[in-house]
Amino acid sequence: MPLGQPLRLGRHSVFPPLLMAPMLDITNRAFRTLVRGYGGCGLFYTEMLNARRLPTESAQSPFWQGLGVERDVMVQLLGDDPEALARSVERLLPLDPFGFDWNLGCARKKITHWGWGAALLENPQATARGLRALRQATDKPLTVKIRLPEHGHPDLFKSFIKLLENEGVDAITVHARTAADGFKRPARWDAIAQVKSWTKVPVIGNGDVQSAADAQAMFQKTGCDAVMIGRGAVGKPYLFKTIINQASGATEPAPEAAKVLEAMLTCLDTALETPKGAREFKVFCRYFAQTLPVPHWFWAPLQSMTLGPELAKRARVFFKK
Ligand SMILES: Cc1cc2nc3c(=O)[nH]c(=O)nc-3n(C[C@H](O)[C@H](O)[C@H](O)COP(=O)(O)O)c2cc1C
């Protein structure tokens, strides 16, 4: 089945309507470059960036790497303070990102504790204040990424979606799980279809897409306007291309794990020698290895390693197997 229409984001359109999910410690410049190299991904996101820190962050901040050069990256903001959100947008606008996304879905306790992320799902007033500030700060695409609310009647959720629409968001990404679900239970795709039926705003479906067949099924079962992929695309950074191939009837063998690893190390380049780069490479390895039976002898020593080249050596031994 061919892929659907481009995803409309305000005056812009995104094709293919396949998006790489924002992921802390993973969707950095190197990983985006890796995925972009395989092709098929229409839009990328930074990891979540703290709006309290962004306005005063150094111009050389590693969190910004690639912005100003990459034209297909949404910046994801985290926080609830309208002033900080607006000032973060103003700070980053000169780097001309594709647009901005506001995180309304992070369920980590240390985030929701501040009233940020998924806590905002239960605070429509704060959500409206934040969106007004963001909408005033930019006419670039503005999206939100939500998850399913934990409490409350479905009518409350419906009115929350209407609020997002009324405050002028250009798309709503639905990670179809509640905070309590964690990754323990399957994503509830029926909720994506439900949100789609409630709003005129484009809906981006997210949760548990691990293969081309899953992506097609999500489009078909939910009617979503785009599919966003997280963990599945770390395990297979070429997954977006596989989806495109399948949609057009083309076949291409999947690259070997060792080749993908080498490509990732090339993309990391000297970043691997920094503590941040080394730590993020470790996180990449964890998700990259998710489809393989990873033996204890690989993980145990890896956990205590902190130096990038040492980690790379270990990963090469493992992924060449
Ligand atoms: C390691 C990791 C980091 C994540 N970081 C973020 C983040 O910074 N912002 C966000 O909105 N979601 C974050 N998520 C959630 C993903 O964007 C996505 O919603 C979730 O993984 C479900 O999609 P998937 O089933 O395709 O992985 C993260 C998920 C993982 C596994």
The closest residue, in CA terms, to atom 31 on ligand 1 is: 231
Model confidence pLDDT, tens digit, residues 56-66: 998 888 888 89
Q: What is the pLDDT of residue 301?
A: 81
Instruction: Please give the pLDDT value at position 319.
Output: 84
Cα gap 21→108, rounded to integer Å? 17
Options 106, 224, 267, 285, the catalytic residue: 106
Q: Which atom of ligand 1 is nearest to the CA of 206?
A: 23
Q: Which atom of ligand 1 is nearest to the CA of 228?
A: 26
What is the reported pTM? 0.96
pLDDT in tens, 171-222: 999 999 999 898 989 999 999 999 999 999 999 999 999 999 999 999 999 9
Among 112, 173, 186, 121, residue whose Cα is nearest residue 150: 121
From the CB of 92, is ligand 1 less than 6 Å away? no
Tokens standing for 209?
């897409």
Per-residue pLDDT for the chain (321 aa), expressed as one digit of tens each?
668 799 999 999 999 999 999 999 999 999 999 999 999 999 999 999 999 999 999 888 888 889 999 999 999 999 999 999 999 999 999 999 999 999 999 999 999 999 999 999 999 999 999 999 999 999 999 999 999 998 878 889 999 999 999 999 999 999 999 998 989 899 999 999 999 999 999 999 999 999 999 999 999 999 999 999 999 999 999 999 999 999 999 989 999 999 999 999 999 999 999 999 999 999 999 899 887 777 777 777 888 899 999 999 999 988 875
Distances in Å between the alpha carbon of 32 and those of 151, 187, 233, 236?
35, 25, 11, 13
Other CB atoms within a 10 A radius of the CB of residue 213 amount to 11
Place of tokens 């949760």: 207
Would you say the CB of residue 42 lies under 6 angstroms from ligand 1? no
Residue 116 burial by Cβ neighbours in a 10 Å radius (0-12, 13-18, 19+): buried
Pocket test for ligand 1, best of 18, 19, 20, 24 (most atoms within 8 A of CB): 24
Cα 83 to Cα 159: distance, rounded to the nearest angstrom: 25
- Of all protein residues, whose CA lies closest to atom 22 belonging to ligand 1? 207
Q: Which atom of ligand 1 is nearest to the CA of 208?
A: 25
The verdict on the CB of residue 232 being under 6 Å from ligand 1 is yes
Go through the domains of the chain in sequence order and give each one's CATH number.
Answer: 7-248 (3.20.20.70), 257-319 (no CATH)
Residue 207 CA to ligand 1 center (angstroms) comes to 9
